A and B are shown apart, each in its own frame.
Chain A
């Protein structure tokens, strides 16, 4: 199974800051990588698919990049409503689909 290592596990930043989360795959997954946002008590929501494509309706301050084994998720201008846990997820050569451990984003 492909393991996804996400870092950091949590972070605290100020409104307006640029926030970066990384995800590393245990083997090459091309660009078969998605990012989800999960707010407390809610279902996950798809933000980025195929490593860098923004889901319809998602604000442009969210972005993703990378391919192969290293991926990055960025919030360019952190807003209070962005408080959530973010997960990467790979879907290369499935099953199984696997998720990263999550990054909890808080506001300073």
Chain B
């Protein structure tokens, strides 16, 4: 059975840091690109970042570039998102997702976790 389970969300003050984790099973984790996608309360979906199979290629949305860092541990089928210098506008549910595609067409999200809520507030 395919499972993606996020954890690590919570309440953090502006300027603070948080590390999200995504534990996977049943998805052949090491063979696929992975992404984080977020959704602010009552809003639509926003792609945040993705990482290739061995972690050597990473792409970030402009809104998080320089503040967020994606990484992965293929030995433990896990994905991470280190979030620094957090802002109120980063408040959202963060989903990890498996990504299919090739070349410049990496962007078919076929499996999603249940999400973890990050709230940035003083």
For chain B, residues 36 to 51, give those with C-beta under 8 angstroms from any C-beta of chain A.
Answer: 37, 44-47, 50
Inter-chain CA distance A102–B42, complex, in Å, is 11
Stretch at the interface among A20-28, A43-51, A61-69: A43-51
Name A's interface SS. Answer: loop
**A87 CB within 8 Å of chain B:** yes
Q: Given A43-B95, A43-B114, A43-B115: A49 and B45 within 8 A (CB)?
A: no
Which range holds the interface residue count of chain B? 20 to 34
**B108 CB within 8 Å of chain A:** yes
Name B's interface SS. Answer: strand
Q: Given A43-B114, A89-B45: A95 and B59 within 8 A (CB)?
A: yes
Partner of B61, one of A42, A45, A96: A96
Which range holds the interface residue count of chain A? 20 to 34
Partner of B110, one of A38, A46, A96: A46
Q: Which residues of A contact B114 (CB under 8 A)?
A: 42-43
Inter-chain CA distance A14–B117, complex, in Å, is 34
**A105 vs chain B, min Cβ distance (A):** 15
Chain A positions within 8 Å of B, measured between CB atoms, are 32, 34, 36, 38, 42-46, 49, 55, 87, 89-102
